[in-house]
Structure 1
Amino acid sequence: MPSIRSYLNRLLLSLAIVTISIGIFALPVGATAVYEIPVVSAGVPTWAIDKADVLSLATKGTLRTTLAQLAKQTNKEVRFVTIHRLDYGDTIQTFTDKLFKKWFATDAEQANQTLIILDNVTNTIGIQTGTEVKSTLTDAIATSIITETMQAPLRSGNKYNQAFIDGADRLVAVLSGKADPGPPVIVSTPEVGRTYLKAEETEANRTNFLVVVIGLLIIATVIPMATWWWYQNQS
């Protein structure tokens, strides 16, 4: 007859498997924290930090040239950052706000700054601007740049280089005092069936998998325990 020690060992093993399984599926592998981004301050000629490694050397060179010229002519500084995966509890906008305040601690340092950050896992974009920038780059235009101008190339096939070049071109025009060229004109095309999962669908599948795994492990634990008690009652 199986001993109670063997059942307890099996129970402990099952609990350990549950804990490890939950940990594996819950950890945000490769999540980027604010402290991992190199420190930049006002006046420092660092215009693009590509932690997600999605920009070509040509795009980085174009951004450096374009944004350095903008800073020289207008004193307005624009910086782009890409990251790979947000940590739990962060949105792209809260991450952008935290990095903006870390880089530019005072109102004076923030005044002429614009910071745009993209997370390449969700393709979401955050933007933060200083008080002096808002006189030309209104909140409405800033929102349009990240939700329309930069998102259009991303929606058409994750064209990160095009997204950043288009965003920079519109920012430079507006911050230089020129007329806002506006968002791109989107030509509608017949909708085709998706062959990929949306982020929320992937998360739902992972949750369902965890529920099934935990349920099976509980069954694997309860049945042996019930069997042991039945044997005990029969003896």
Structure 2
Amino acid sequence: METILSPRSFSPLFKTHLLPQLQPKSSYGLKPICCALRKQPSQPCQFVKQSFYKRTSWVSNVHQGLAALAISLALNFSLPILTDVALASEFDILNEGPPKDSYVVDDAGVLSRVTKSDLKRLLSDLESRKGYHINIVTVRKLTSKADAFEYADQVLERWYPTVEEGNNKGIVVLVTTQKEGAVTGGPEFIKAVGDSVLDATVSENLPVLATEEKYNEAVFSAANRLVAAVDGLPDPGGPQAKDNKRESNFKTREETDEKRGQFTLVVGGLLVIAFVVPMAQYYAYVSKK
């Protein structure tokens, strides 16, 4: 029994395996135990952290995709609204009413500061002397009305709803995109200007100069012509439409027939030469033999 149960008999069996792990005083045995205690909880933590990062990145990608989709839908649905806002300037003119500090509503943004100053001087002088008030309106494009005449009447009715308010008022409208204009006003204003000057201003000053993109000159010349008519002065006239007819590159029928005849003669002469010359050479060769 002593021999079997003696520590010396067990030492060879556990010398290499058990003693390094069971001896607490050995520094060699403490280091692996501490490392094992530190590594065991750290491994699942690392696994959980990686899976959490993966889940977070997946969720963030989904959020980014949804955000991009929402932005795209918002832009697609907001473009018609933005377009309507950009084209709503003609309605803004109606709602804002006549200008208080000037005689010009340059919504199209085509008039210079000098032109606005000259118009204010010219029209304020007319109002102080004759009592007629003329407003100049420029708009880029019309979407609610068919032409400038309907829009001018709408502006007059909206700004001056009663006959008494609009009796001596005049409205000049210039549409830059459509290159057209219109003049309207109350009964007294129309009578003071006259139908001939009104028609000439609408057909000459506004469209002709607007076609050449001379918007400042178109507006000021139209206002100057209306003021001269109210004052009873001779009509200064307006610009005449230039004949921009280009010469055609196509030939007339007479020129085509003439060229065709010449071409026929040339081709016929070439055919004759092509057949006659070889035959003559052949005949000369045969006769020599």
Contact between 2:133 and 2:170, CA under 8 Å: does it hold in 1?
A: yes
Matches for 1:134-213 after TM superposition, within 5 Å: 134-155=190-211, 157-186=212-241, 188=243, 191=246
Alpha-carbon distance between aligned partners in 1 of 2:186 and 2:104, rounded to the nearest angstrom: 18
| SS at structure 1 position matched to 2:236 | coil
Indicate the RMSD between aligned Cα atoms, in angstroms.
2.7
Q: 1:144 to 1:169 in 2, by over 3 A?
A: same
Alignment correspondent of 1:66? 122
Structure 2: unaligned runs, 5 residues or longer: 1-75, 249-289
Task: Determine which structure has greater relative contact order: mean sequence separation of CA pairs < 8 Å that are 6+ residues apart, divided by chain length.
Answer: 1
> Any residues of structure 2 matched to 1:115-134 within 5 Å, and which?
115-134=171-190
**Cα distance change on mapping 1:158 and 1:29 into 2, 3 Å:** farther
Name the CA shift for 1:55/1:33 in 2 (closer, same or farther; >3 Å). closer
TM-score by length of 2: 0.52
Letter in 2 for 1:109: E
**Deviation per residue, 1:104-139 (Å, 9 max, x gap):** 111111111110111211122122111111222123
Could you tell me how far apart the structure 1 residues matched to 2:167 and 2:102 are?
17
Larger Rg: 2
- Given that 2:225 and 2:237 are in contact with CA atoms closer than 8 Å, whether structure 1 keeps it comes out as yes
1:1-235 map, 5 Å: 30-32=86-88, 34-37=90-93, 38-40=96-98, 44-155=100-211, 157-186=212-241, 188=243, 191=246
| Distance (whole Å) between structure 1 residues aligned to residue 203 and residue 120 of structure 2 | 23
Seq. identity, %? 23
Q: Distance in 1 between matches of 2:178 and 2:90?
A: 17
Higher normalized helix content (fraction of residues): 2
AA aligned to 1:70 is L
Distance 2:177 2:85 in 1: 11
In 1, the alpha carbon distance for the partners of 2:225 and 2:150 equals 24
Aligned pair count reads: 169
Q: Which amino acid aligns with 1:103?
A: W
Kindly provide the CA deviation profile for residues 22-72 of structure 1, in whole angstroms up to 9, marking residues without a partner as x.
x97xx777324554013128xx55311100000011111111111101111
Number of the residue aligned with 1:4: none
Provide the rounded CA distance (Å) in 1 between the counterparts of 2:247 and 2:213: 17
Q: Distance in 2 between matches of 1:105 and 1:86?
A: 22
TM-score by length of 1: 0.63
Q: Structure 1 pair 58/178, CA: closer, same or farther in 2 (3 Å)?
A: same
In structure 1, what is the Cα distance between the partners aligned to 2:171 and 2:144?
22
Which ranges of structure 1 fall in alignment gaps of 5 or more residues? 1-19, 194-235
